[in-house]
A and B are shown apart, each in its own frame.
Chain A
Amino acid sequence: MKKLLWLSALMGIVGLLWTSPTLAITVDFVPSTQSVGVGQPVAVDVVISGLTAGGPPSVGAFDLDVSFNPGILSPTGVSFGPFLGDPALLEALTSVAVTPGLVDFAEVSLLLPAELDALQPASFALATLSFDTLAGGTSPLTFSQVVLADAFGATLTGSSVGSGSINVVVPEPGTLLLLGAAMAGFLVRRRSVFGK
């Protein structure tokens, strides 16, 4: 009886682990976390995955809002990927709006559905966000709005979003430098006291 119980438990665990992966559309920050010094520029990709390469569904338009800590990060630009068409060739229209702590960026492809199907791989960068770093600390990156439309303008259902963060560190004077300065000051002071 005990053996049977163990066997059934083992089978249950195996069954839980043996789940087939489901294809789901996700939007993530890549890299999800990174660390830079204050004053250094930093960029993060917004990547969609879970599509079908060379076939529907493809992304016809998107509208994303990314929230961040405005005391730590200052957005400097949004560059859009080529997979909804090249905006420079007027194959896509883009829009960017910035409010404190929020970047709102959107793109609408002007290509035909069949062209989008052929153009888009299963995973690609929708856009790249660039920031300047203003102060030390960790700024979370979160999607406060996600609108994804397929090639026909219907909402891409079943999508999920990830989150990310950027850690901004302030470069401090080296510890040895600090100790050396203290020691030098100490010696100078001591010499002046005992030298009298």
Chain B
Amino acid sequence: MKISALRGGNHDTQEVSLSPSAEDRLGPVKAYRGVTMRVRRLIASAAASTLAAGVLYAVAYATILAITLGKVHNQPHPMPPPGPPPQVCKLVSGTAGPFCMASGCTGFCPNTPIPGLQGSSACPCSSPIQNVQTQARFVTNDLSALDSVAAKATFFPVGDWPVVGTFNGLSFATTVAPVGSMTVEFALDERHGKPVYIATITHMAIRALASQGFEANLVPPRETTILPRPTVIGLARLLPLDAPWIARTDTSTSPARPVLTASLLTIRPDSGSTDGFVGVLFSSPIDGFTLQGEATGTLDIADGSWSLTFTTSQCSNGLVICDIDGDGEVSRNDIEAILAARGTRAIPGDSRDADGDGVITVNDARICVLACTKPNCAP
């Protein structure tokens, strides 16, 4: 047998002769080495196959991914590209209308559309409107009269509501067409010796449209100015806290359902509510107006009739709302401008902040939809 050995880098072969006895002793070693070589070859072969399969797997995976990503990127994207929403910087602060709008103004505004009311150039905003009274009639959810005191009832306004008052010495009377609802929760209070129902207005969002030509009811002098369109006359505002309401005592007409035995019904608004009663607007196009101060009223539980009187003077807050582009109309363009600005903080006097909560939201857009001057907010 010859054994070849490699030394260093040179293929220097040395041949060593072994005796037959030594070759016999090396028999098992040779067999072992042969097996080892085969195992090594098998392992190497398996490893190479596994590596090849892994590469194949990766190639297949990458191919599928590339194909799918290619599909994704090849598809059209109708969505607008990411970026900040467009800014709506145009603001219109109100000076339009017959009433004092600008702060510090002490008279009728010069651009008043009512000639009869256009007097001096200044008017005190402390008492432009006084003795505002209105009568409202509500019905309950099922359009029936509320002749029993339920734990909770939702009222809806019906009919036209007359509104009377005085403005700078001039009496006026008009009617408004209300929309909205009012939810009242009743609770019996017997702590004062006699049963008293405490009714809490937990939700009240009533808005009203002025009838056309209400200025004709101004007396004296009788004006003939006709408004070109119904006008929203206000926003939902807080009814003054603890405004007293007196209920008639003869409203329980059905002995079979005599629940209301109290002689006094006190209705007060929920202190946490941000909704409230309607403001009244007497100018055009749109003017926010907040009823302020205390009001007294009556509720006829039998037929849902309400009336209230604001004893304190009312003053416009001088804010033209919803007419964002200042064209004298509330239209789709104004709603879109509010919609585009949603989520931004309102600045003082912001005509986009219709509900006055300091933030421009879709609530403002929806309120202004109700103030649109044409059907479907057509421009």
Q: Which residues of A contact B (CB under 8 A)?
A: 37-39, 55-56, 60-63, 74-78, 90-91, 93, 95-100, 104, 106-111, 113, 132-134, 145, 147, 149-155, 170-173, 177-178, 181-186, 188-190, 193-194
Q: Which of B349-379 contact A (CB under 8 A)?
A: 354-355, 361-367, 369-370, 372, 376-378
Complex partner residue of A181 from B53, B69, B78, B372, CB under 8 angstroms? B53
Contact A76 B79 (CB under 8 A): yes
Contact B53 A185 (CB under 8 A): yes
Q: Which of B220-279 contact A (CB under 8 A)?
A: 236, 274-275
CA distance A78 to B77 in the complex (A): 11
Contact B361 A63 (CB under 8 A): yes
Contact A153 B79 (CB under 8 A): no
CA distance A171 to B71 in the complex (A): 15
Complex partner residue of B369 from A98, A110, A132, CB under 8 angstroms? A110
Contact A60 B369 (CB under 8 A): yes
Contact B376 A90 (CB under 8 A): yes
A173 CB contacts on chain B under 8 angstroms:
57, 60-61, 64
CA distance A177 to B85 in the complex (A): 50
Contact-residue size bin, chain B (C-beta under 8 Å from the other chain): 35 or more
Known: A154-B203, A181-B56. A110 touches B372 (CB 8 A): yes
Tell yes or no: B29 within 8 A of A by CB: no
CA distance A97 to B340 in the complex (A): 9
Q: How far is the CB of B136 from chain A (nearest CB, A)?
A: 16
Known: A63-B342, A96-B79, A110-B377. A153 touches B363 (CB 8 A): yes
Known: A91-B376, A113-B179, A189-B48. A178 touches B53 (CB 8 A): yes
B65 CB contacts on chain A under 8 angstroms:
38, 170
CA distance A75 to B78 in the complex (A): 9
Given contacts A93-B335, A181-B57, 14 further A-B contacts (CB under 8 A): A60-B369, A77-B79, A90-B376, A98-B79, A99-B84, A106-B339, A106-B342, A134-B72, A152-B180, A152-B236, A153-B363, A154-B274, A170-B61, A173-B57
Closest A residue to B359 using CB positions:
A147
Tell yes or no: B137 within 8 A of A by CB: no
Tell yes or no: B46 within 8 A of A by CB: yes
B367 CB contacts on chain A under 8 angstroms:
152-153
Closest B residue to A191 using CB positions:
B45
Q: Which residues of B contact A (CB under 8 A)?
A: 41-42, 44-46, 48-50, 52-53, 56-57, 60-61, 64-65, 67-69, 71-72, 75, 77-85, 141, 154, 179-181, 203, 205, 207, 236, 274-275, 332, 335-336, 339-340, 342-343, 354-355, 361-367, 369-370, 372, 376-378
Contact B77 A76 (CB under 8 A): yes
Which DSSP category, helix, strand, loop or mixed, fits chain B's interface?
Answer: helix
Complex partner residue of A39 from B46, B72, B180, B364, CB under 8 angstroms? B72
Contact A95 B77 (CB under 8 A): no
Contact A108 B339 (CB under 8 A): yes
Contact B336 A39 (CB under 8 A): no
CA distance A194 to B274 in the complex (A): 89
Complex partner residue of B52 from A74, A75, A110, A185, CB under 8 angstroms? A185
8 contacts between A and B (CB under 8 A): A60-B369, A76-B75, A76-B78, A91-B376, A110-B376, A153-B365, A154-B363, A185-B52
Contact B369 A97 (CB under 8 A): no
- Interface hub of A108, A150, A153 (most chain B Cβ within 10 A): A153
Contact A172 B61 (CB under 8 A): yes
CA distance A172 to B60 in the complex (A): 8
Q: How far is the CB of B225 from chain A (nearest CB, A)?
A: 27
B205 CB contacts on chain A under 8 angstroms:
150, 152-154
Closest A residue to B206 using CB positions:
A152
Rank and list the top 7 A-B pairs by shortest CB-CB distance, nearest first.
Answer: A39-B68, A185-B49, A153-B367, A61-B362, A153-B366, A186-B49, A182-B53
B354 CB contacts on chain A under 8 angstroms:
153
Contact B376 A147 (CB under 8 A): no
A172 CB contacts on chain B under 8 angstroms:
61
CA distance A169 to B339 in the complex (A): 37
Contact B179 A152 (CB under 8 A): yes
Q: How far is the CB of A55 from chain B (nearest CB, A)?
A: 8
CA distance A131 to B201 in the complex (A): 45
A184 CB contacts on chain B under 8 angstroms:
49
CA distance A91 to B80 in the complex (A): 22
Contact A97 B85 (CB under 8 A): yes
Q: How far is the CB of B315 from chain A (nearest CB, A)?
A: 23
Contact B48 A185 (CB under 8 A): yes
Complex partner residue of B83 from A91, A99, A107, A177, CB under 8 angstroms? A99
CA distance A189 to B236 in the complex (A): 85
CA distance A194 to B37 in the complex (A): 12
Q: How far is the CB of A81 from chain B (nearest CB, A)?
A: 16
Q: How far is the CB of B58 from chain A (nearest CB, A)?
A: 10
Q: How far is the CB of A53 from chain B (nearest CB, A)?
A: 14
B71 CB contacts on chain A under 8 angstroms:
39
Q: How far is the CB of A195 from chain B (nearest CB, A)?
A: 12
